[in-house]
A and B are shown apart, each in its own frame.
Chain A
């Protein structure tokens, strides 16, 4: 096996996931001006729910569908019932509330599934595709194709459709958008729903390859945020930053060792935070 090729393959797969998660964070940030630290929980909820439902005997397709719906309900419910009623609160407080929500989800996942990693069968079965000394499972190919395809689709939705432009307008200036007849609240809930759906899709595609546990959510939020921040919270830029981050993390794991991945990623987070601290602003106009 060629270590470099295999690292690239691994990086492409995790990069696709970070892109999925980064876009969700960007959409919520741009429409509601808050960083949703519970965003990665959509990944963990989907994985745990799908594993439990499939383990209880539900057909895999039904288990995955139900798990995605639960994740969507969490993402939109967090906005509708927790954040929106507190729209006038300071941005920092709302961010802490999302962190609290992430820990609540952790607790619920431990109660429901315990602390051991869980998984469920892959959707795309078959022998891995081998090239240049590396091997890529069919599920991994689906993850990369869907990850970048769906993410590019979201970018096109924002840039080229009426609904997408309404969402961008609601993000930039909710007051002006409302005066032009745009339903800003619907734009925000759409952003949370798209984010929840992308987080859930990431879970459905990646978890059969790596497993999931109660701690996965915050780790995914962290990676998604780094990708989002590198892109300057751009829904198009995150496509490339997510890919770059996935490849970088895979190379660190391959050449320095898996134990170095988390410390290196935290260092990247600090550097990105310093670099982007002037560009990324929370708060401002009415949020959540």
Chain B
């Protein structure tokens, strides 16, 4: 397996507080890894650290074999690490179109990118509701629409690896089902890591599921995960 994303013995947390320790995992381009865990297990902190929004205290993060451990979050986004954060973090005072256009910050850093209009047309085809709401403020969207927008923004980054942090949180069951179908349609285009508490949702999507328990990764049978 050629890993797009490789995490080696990573420690991280907030200041002096270590939240997760010794995490190693690897995800190939056509793989979807599910991370299951209770509140406070360290799932969100792990994703934020892989994305560069929090510093790691030990270990390495490799993207396509390139060490990005010391890279700030905006450079990792430009390099191809996309994160749909918990709570979506939509820019409420900008329109849907402006939310999407912010991803143009990566242009000039990725020579292989198709023109922005082509990329936007692609995400509008995937989420027609966003095209209808293009001029509406991000803050005025419903929870499901905001989740669509958060995923669309990450897709516009043309990620090598897409991480989704609790994408079903606060969504109605019918929207969760539609989200599962959408994400299943994306499989194979890039590596995916999906963090969830919703086990049934993860089982529909993930090729394999690991559990996060008190800041360490364990396999489904409870043994320490030896992922790479």
Contacts and interface: CB of A to CB of B under 8 A. Distances in A.
A133 interface: no
B153 interface: yes
Interface stretch (A20-28, A179-187, A271-279): A179-187
Contacts, number: 68
Interface stretch (A115-123, A168-176, A216-224): A168-176
Interface string A152-179: 0000000000100110110011011111
B78 A165 contact: no
A162 B94 CA distance: 12
Interface residues of B, number: 28
Contact of A179 (B73, B92, B93, B94): B73
A93 to B, nearest CB: 17
B91 interface: yes
B82 to A, nearest CB: 8
Given A178-B72, A181-B74, A181-B106, A172 B85 contact: no
A179 B77 contact: yes
Given A172-B92, A179-B83, A181-B77, A166 B105 contact: yes
Interface of B: 51-53, 72-74, 77-78, 82-83, 85, 89-94, 98, 101-106, 109, 153-154, 157
Nearest to B153: A180
Chain B CB count within 10 A is highest, among A169, A180, A182, for: A180
Chain B CB count within 10 A is highest, among A169, A181, A182, for: A181
A166 B94 CA distance: 10
A1 B1 CA distance: 87
Contact of B94 (A169, A175, A178, A181): A169
Given A162-B101, A181-B77, A181-B78, A176 B91 contact: yes
B93 A178 contact: no
